[in-house]
Amino acid sequence: MTSKSECILPINGILLLNKPQGLSSNAVLQKAKRLFKAKKAGHTGSLDPLATGMLPICFGEATKLCQYLLDADKCYEATGLLGIKTSTADALGDELQRVDDFNVSESELCQVLEQFTGATQQIPSMFSALKHQGKPLYKLARAGITIERKSRDILIDALTLRSFNGQSFEITVSCSKGTYIRNLVEDIGETLGVYAHVTQLHRKHTAGFDREAMYTLDALEAMSDSERLACLLPMERAIPTMPVVVIDPDELLRLQQGKTLDYQAVDIPNGLVRLNLEQGEFVGIGELDSDHILKVKRLLAF
C-alpha cells in the first residue's frame, strides 16, 4: 500500500540520467521512476547492461515525445579489443573465436574506420532490443533461437580513433538512430581479419543534449525532492528544431475537439510543428499540410 509520503506525483519533464554499468535500461528507469514518485515514465533508447552514459527519461506527458528522442542522432565512446569474437559482440558474451598472433598497425585500423564512415548498412545483433513477433531478439538469443535479420541503412557521421595499443582501441562514434556499436566494432574486427568485441561503451549524448549535465542514480538519491525536480528539462527540449506555431485558447479548444485550423498566413513549411500558447506554454504537436491546414498530431493533457 502506498503511504501518503510516497504518493504518486504528476511530474512532466525530461531527465538526463547517466546510466551505470551492470543494470538494464529498464531497471534504471524503474529506479528513477520510484525516486521521482512519478506516475508515468519511459526511456528513449535502450543501452546494454555493459554500457554507461546518457539515457534520457521522459516523465508524465513527456512520454508522448519519446519517439522524437529515439529518432535523434547519438554520440558514443567505445573501447574495442581485437583478437576475440564473442557471442554478444561484447565482454559479457562467451568467447567464440580467437586469433592470438596478429599484427595490425594504426594506419591499417584507420583505413578500416574510414570504410565505415558515411552511409552504410548494418545487420542488427540478435542481442538487441529489436522485436520479432512481439519478443525482444535478446530473449530469443538467450533461448538459443536465431532469427534472420535484414540489414538496415545507418549513417555514421564521424568515426574517430582516440587511442590504439596494437590490440585495444578507443573510438568516438557520431551516428544515426539504430546504429549498434557492438556490431560496428565486431565488423571492424572482421574486416581486419582478427575479430573484435566491445569491452566498454559510453553514450556521450543524444542530439540536442550535448551541453547538458547528466545525473547519476547515486547523486539523485542524495537530493531532496525539490533538488531532483530542478534536474528536469522542459518537455519541448525533445523537439528543439521543430517550427513553432502560436495559437490562442479558442484555437486550442478547436484542436481538442478534433477540428482543423487554417494557417495560410504563417510562413512555415508544411510538416510537423510545435504548438505554443501566446504566453509560450507548450501544448502539443500539430501538422501543417501542403494547403497550410493545421491538424493535431499529439496534444498534451491538461
**Beta-bridge mates of residue 135:** 132
Task: Tell me phi and psi for residue 260, to 5 degrees.
Answer: -110, 165
Q: How many residues does the chain have?
A: 302
Positive/negative CA dihedral, 269, 272, 278, 282: negative
**Catalytic residue chosen out of the listed positions 48, 100, 218, 262:** 48
Please report how many Cα atoms fall inside a 13 Å half-sphere around the Cα of residue 226, on the Cβ side: 0
Instruction: List Cβ neighbours of 161 (8 Å cut-off, separation of 6 or more).
Output: 106, 109, 110, 113, 169, 170, 171
**Per-position b or e across 199-217, b if 16+ CB within 10 A of its CB:** bbbbbbbbbbbeeeebeeb
Based on the residue annotation, tell me whether 218 is a catalytic residue of this protein.
no
Residue 24, all three cell numbers: 538494464
Task: List residues with catalytic annotation.
Answer: 48
